[in-house]
Structure formats: structure tokens, C-alpha cells
Amino acid sequence: MKKESKYLFIIAGFFYGFSPINEPHIFGKINWVAGGAVQMNTMDWLDLAMHGSAILIAIGVTFSLIFSKNKNQKNQK
């Protein structure tokens, strides 16, 4: 995967994970689960999984970029 497409993927992942902008669904769902997940439907769990997975994948791609830079710098020395 090209470096430019990784940056676009990171931006898109965080944008989707933290949407809608005014109050992200992920924060509401995490608070709901922390409160005991009372009356959570299947759609609520899927919403948590979709927004959460986008954020986790974006974080993973970010770490892979960071560690690949460090690895490339060590190889060049």
C-alpha cells in the first residue's frame, strides 16, 4: 500500500469512527456499555463495532507507519 493511501485511510478511519461530529456515537455507546448495556439492541452493538473498528484500524495503520519509519531509518544508517 502506498504511503499516501495510508494517510487517506487514517483520515477516513478517524472521520468515520468519530462521526457524527457534534457528539460521536462511539462515546455514547461506550458510556452505555459502561453503564451496564441496559436495553442495548443488536443495532446498537453493530454501531459500536463499526465505529470502534474504524478507529482501531486507523490506529493500527498509524502505528505501522510510525514503526516502519523507524525501521527504515535504522536500515539506512
Q: What is the per-residue pLDDT across 11-30, written as a single tens digit (0 to 9) for each?
A: 888 888 888 878 888 888 88
Reported as half-sphere exposure (CB side, CA atoms, 13 A), residue 77 has a value of: 6
How far apart are alpha carbons 48 and 73 in whole angstroms? Answer: 38
Q: How is residue 8 annotated by DSSP?
A: H
Q: Name the residue ranges covered by the structural domains of the chain.
A: 3-76
pLDDT tens digits for range 35-55: 898 888 999 899 889 888 988
Enumerate long-range contacts of 33-42, CB under 8 Å, 24 or more apart: none
Question: Who has greater pLDDT, 59 or 74?
Answer: 59
How far apart are alpha carbons 20 and 4 in whole angstroms? Answer: 25
pTM for the complete prediction? 0.73
